[in-house]
Amino acid sequence: MLERHIDPLGQISDFEVRLIRVFRAVVESGGFTAAMPALGIGRSAISLHMADLEARLGMRLCQRGRSGFALTEEGRDIYQASLRLLASLETFRNEVNSLHRHLRGELNIGITDNLVTLPHMRITHALAALKQRGPQVHINIHMIPPSEVEAGVMDGRLHVGVVPAMNAMRALDYNPLYNEAAYLYCARNHSFYEREDDSLGADDIAAADAVVPAYALPAAGQRCLEQLNGMATATDREGIAFLLLTGCYIGFLPEHFARRWADTGQLRRLCPDRYAYRIEYAAITRHGRRPHRVLDTLLAELGHPDSPLSSATRDSA
């Protein structure tokens, strides 16, 4: 039996780009039905678009049926290629928009969780200023782990990210933003709650069941964790808070995030002079990036000296 010959993919038209956007939405939603709200079309239309894309590419992209939705090996490769294609198109659009006097286009931001409770709301204020200067700018915020933020900035899916500044990468530029203090806490129904700090020795702390983060920390944070008896883990701060509030564990939380419970007496800070560390947060952008007027405006509002608009912003303030 002769193998069917597939012609190489020719020029990509607007229609193919539309099909690729449908494919991306289906993958990121986890199936045809789940993608309907994001795409604003019915399941049958999505199915037709997917079949058309597969025919044009000459390969099967996904398995669908009673067993559920799953990408084929080729589908996974095409998905990664589609991310690069759409990111390139967005870069082109932003470069064209930068030629216009008024700000427009998209700004894709990746942020580590639970920073909104920081008292110095630099990101919030900068986004508000950006909205005033560019009412037509479409802002997309993604709350994702630091590693995903870094990967997104490096491959162009994100224009800027906010992450802990620990292991600097050569491919990224780091601009300091926040300095966050973390302390050891217990809940009201924990046996340590009523004890004076002077009565809690290192052996007491080391013997108590503790919840520890399943994400990277700076060296000072790691040294603090080494003094704890880790009996539970959590992938984010909210998970740590859930376990602390059971009264069964002690653990570290950022002061600004724990304040809502500390102010009502639900959590208590333990031995702050002995058990504390700080985390530096930075805004990251891709090193050697091309000019991006919307991004440069945001960086200027954040007060970064490397932004070409920062001096103009200060002069007009």
pLDDT at 119: 61
Return averaged pLDDT per consecutive 10 residues of the chain, 317 residues in all: 51 84 89 87 89 88 80 90 89 72 84 72 87 89 89 94 87 89 97 96 97 89 95 93 97 94 97 94 91 90 55 34
pLDDT at 316: 34
Q: Which pair of structure tokens corresponds to residue 96?
A: 């064209």
| Under 8 Å between Cβ of 250 and 210 | yes
Q: Which pair of structure tokens corresponds to residue 313?
A: 């912003």
pLDDT at 91: 84
Q: What is the DSSP letter of 198?
A: G
**What single letter denotes the amino acid at residue 188?**
R
Question: Looking at 112-192, which runs of residues are DSSP E strands?
Answer: 136-143, 160-164, 172-187
Point out which residues pair with 71 in neighbouring strands.
62
| Under 8 Å between Cβ of 262 and 91 | no
Q: Which domains does the chain have, with CATH numbers?
A: 14-85 (1.10.10.10), 105-317 (3.40.190.290)
Q: Which pair of structure tokens corresponds to residue 317?
A: 């303030």
Indicate the pTM of the whole model: 0.61
What is the rounded distance in angstroms from the CA atom of residue 144 to the CA atom of residue 155?
15
| Under 8 Å between Cβ of 215 and 235 | yes
Among candidates 270, 118, 261, which has minimal Cα distance to 192? 270
Q: How many residues belong to the chain?
A: 317
